[in-house]
Chains A and B, each alone.
Chain A
Amino acid sequence: MLAYTFKRLGLAVLVALTVSIIAYLLLYLSGDPAIALAGEGARQADIEMIRHTYGLDRPLIVQYGDWLWKLLQGDFGISVYFKTEVGPLIFDKLKTTLLLGISALGFALLVSVPLGILAALYKNSWIDRICLAVAVLGQALPNFFFALLLIMLFSISWHMLPVSGSGTWQHFVMPAIALGYYVAPAFMRLIRAGMIEVLSADYIRTARAKGLPARSVIFKHALRNAIVPVVALAAVQLGFLLGGSVVIETIFALDGLGYLAYQSITFKDYPVMQIIVLLLSAIYVLLTLASDIANAWLDPRIRVS
């Protein structure tokens, strides 16, 4: 178990390093980053000055090494557009995005777990079919379109929720739903399949033979075993949700990492953009690591051995 953990950690570090290289090289996609940073119609002298101040005249490997070294020391560079340090700028917004991601995941689970259980209990009945239809329809709806529909409904027609901003919890309701509904069907299908498999297991018959009430059989004995793969998926999906926050936060002008990413991309603020790509990747790597550990912990066959 310990050897496995170390191997897993080593892999995570290696992945993060590779992503950092890719994130850094993003800058060179345009050909000359100095020109890109200077903006359209910049004079040659300005371009040269930018090239020098950002150290872009050094060999590539030195630039990257310098960037990474500073990164590891906590120096994330200076934002071109906001003219402030990238570190504080990002970590301030990260809280908002994490909150959004977790609420979206919470919403997805809140919808999918009961529906998945219901669909499994009434397999092949009309209840099951309705759940499936909702899932298929849900996955066909583009999230930005769904977000606009929510705004039309809750803000314009019913005046229940604010259209944009990030001051109060009400500001998070629509973004969380718009972000979370899209991953709910995946959870629903997983829970349905897991529950169907588990419900036919011998130990469920044992539990029923012991005279335990239905809720104990379903929730304690069946769900506990069907939920294990859901945990792994939840970690992966949370990473996906954080990436998807770019679209949703931009629509609702929610002041998080996704909105910042959108701004940095439109304003060609490369230092910020690179750090956000790297940060979201690092979070994903951490999440998959955590889910592996959680999985091992949830399965006594791995935990106790």
Chain B
Amino acid sequence: MSSNETVLDVQGLHVDIRTAGGVLHAVRDVSFQVKRGETLCLVGESGCGKSMTSLAIMSLLPKIAHRSARRLTFLAEDLNLAGKKRINDLRGNKMAMIFQDPMTALNPAYTIGDQLTEHYLHHRETSAGQARSRAVELLEKVGIASAAQRLGQYPHQLSGGLRQRVMIAMALMCGPELLIADEPSTALDVTIQAQILRVLADLQADLGIAMVLITHDLGVVARIADRVAVMYAGEVVEDGPAQEIFATPQHPYTQGLMRCIPVPGRTPPGGKLGTIPGVVPSLIGNLQGCAFRDRCEWAKSICQETVPVHASAAGQRWRCIKNQNGAFA
């Protein structure tokens, strides 16, 4: 396998949810690729469809949600065609996921050891002893002291930070090719957040796996992303290499987001941070044109029509009527 092989290829992903008020288009025409050894950060506000995107890839959407995609391949295998059985063979084995809230993501009735090893035993033909030593090895890797004793403990005996480390170890048990982390540090204390992200970044670099990190925290993105996709109202409004996005954000929404983070040295202490006025539009019913237009200072009447996608030479793409030079197309 070459090092720059594409692990996950998503083209034109849609997620529609049936609600009492009509069909909610939670994810609209989302496309991105993740290569081996690469970290892609999906950025956006709550409810912008980042979590739905990740659940769609894992085939974990709730029953009322419907997924469709022009192309959805994992390691060159078409997930659109994979049956339940095949998906179960891949999940927890080749593709793994870490969730937001470690306090509720572990089953309170079983020990850490049981939950760490059960899918390993299911996916691999191996002994319980083998599985336990693999679990100990991984617990040590994610920085848990006296790992062997931890195996006999129950989730309620561990702190939130420890539980999230356990979740990471659990995701890595079978040596996945793809790791999806959905806001893995949001529910934790600020000091613990940094530790968890460090563990994730180190492991990703160490194991050379493909990672999709979902976050609303641009500070996190700046530190560990190779590529960034900014989502707004179910769409990817801008994506590209992290450096490009941070250096020259093109979409007005991305620019707005950048103004919201304090920059050491530039933002004066106690100084005001930027805000984006207005609220996210409803995603129910037929949607046309740019979803951001009601909050955008550059909005024109043509924003109600289909919005073009621009691309730069450096691989940055954005969905806006403005081109690279700020001129209108």
Interface residues of A (CB under 8 A from B): 201-203, 205-213, 216, 220-221, 224-225, 298-301, 304-305
A-B contact pairs, 20 of them (CB 8 A): A205-B99, A205-B105, A206-B99, A206-B105, A206-B106, A206-B170, A208-B91, A209-B96, A210-B92, A210-B119, A210-B170, A211-B87, A211-B89, A211-B91, A212-B88, A212-B92, A221-B109, A224-B110, A225-B108, A300-B154
Indicate if the CB atoms of A206 and B107 lie closer than 8 Å: yes
A242–B87 CA distance with the chains assembled, in angstroms: 49
Question: Cβ of A206: which chain B residues have Cβ within 8 Å of it?
Answer: 99, 105-107, 167, 170
**Top 4 closest pairs, chain A to chain B, by CB:** A210-B92, A211-B92, A211-B91, A210-B119
Please indicate the chain B residues that have their CB under 8 angstroms from the CB of A207 in the complex: 107
**B284 contacts A by Cβ under 8 Å:** no
Closest A residue to B123 using CB positions:
A211
Residues of B contacting A210 in the complex (Cβ-Cβ under 8 angstroms): 91-92, 96, 118-119, 122, 170
Q: Which residues of B contact A300 (CB under 8 A)?
A: 108-109, 111, 154, 156
Shortest C-beta distance, B58 to chain A (Å), equals: 6
Which B90-119 residues have C-beta < 8 A from chain A? Answer: 90-93, 96-97, 99, 101, 104-111, 118-119
**A216 and B122: CB pair below 8 A?**
yes
Binary per-residue interface labels of chain B (153-186) against chain A in the complex, 1 for a CB within 8 Å, 0 otherwise: 1101100000000010010000000000000000
Known: A210-B170, A211-B122. A202 touches B104 (CB 8 A): yes
User: How many inter-chain contacts with C-beta < 8 Å in the A-B complex?
Assistant: 81
Q: A208-B60, A209-B60, A212-B119 are in contact. List 11 more A-B contacts (CB 8 A).
A: A202-B101, A209-B92, A209-B97, A210-B91, A211-B88, A224-B109, A300-B111, A300-B154, A300-B156, A301-B156, A305-B156
For the complex formed, measure the closest distance between the CB of A30 and the CB atoms of chain B, giving whole angstroms: 53
User: A304 to B96, alpha carbons, bound, how many Å?
Assistant: 30
Determine which residue in B92, B107, B123 has the highest number of CB atoms from chain A within 10 A of its CB, and name it: B107
Chain B residues lying within 8 Å of A299, measured Cβ to Cβ, are 108-109
Chain B residues, CB < 8 A from A301: 108, 154, 156
Known contacts A203-B104, A209-B58, A213-B88; A304/B157 CB under 8 A: yes
Give Cα A201–Cα B99 distance, bound, in whole angstroms. 12
The count of chain B contact residues (Cβ–Cβ below 8 Å) is 31
Residue positions of B touching A, CB distance < 8 A:
58, 60, 87-93, 96-97, 99, 101, 104-111, 118-119, 122-123, 153-154, 156-157, 167, 170
Contact of B104 among A201, A212, A213, A216 (CB under 8 A): A201
* A304, B155: Cα distance in complex, Å: 11
Q: How far is the CB of A220 from chain B (nearest CB, A)?
A: 8
The answer to whether B154 and A211 touch across the interface, beta carbons within 8 angstroms, is: no
A122 to B303, CA, bound (A): 44
Q: How far is the CB of A111 from chain B (nearest CB, A)?
A: 25
| Cβ–Cβ < 8 Å partners of A305 in chain B | 156
- Complex CA gap A304/B111 in Å reads 11
Partner of A203, one of B89, B105, B123: B105
Contact B97–A211 (Cβ < 8 Å): no
The smallest beta-carbon distance between A256 and chain B, in angstroms, is: 37
Q: What are the residues of chain A within 8 A of B97 when measuring CB–CB?
A: 209
Which chain A residues border B91 with CB–CB below 8 Å? 208-211
CA distance A158 to B187 in the complex (A): 64
Cα distance, A252 to B122, chains bound together (Å): 50
With known contacts A225-B107, A304-B154, A212–B99 Cβ distance under 8 A: no
Residues of chain B within 8 A of A202, CB atoms compared: 99, 101, 104-105
Quick one: which of A209, A216, A224, A299 has the most chain B CB within 10 A? A209
Name A217's closest neighbour in chain B (CB-CB). Answer: B88
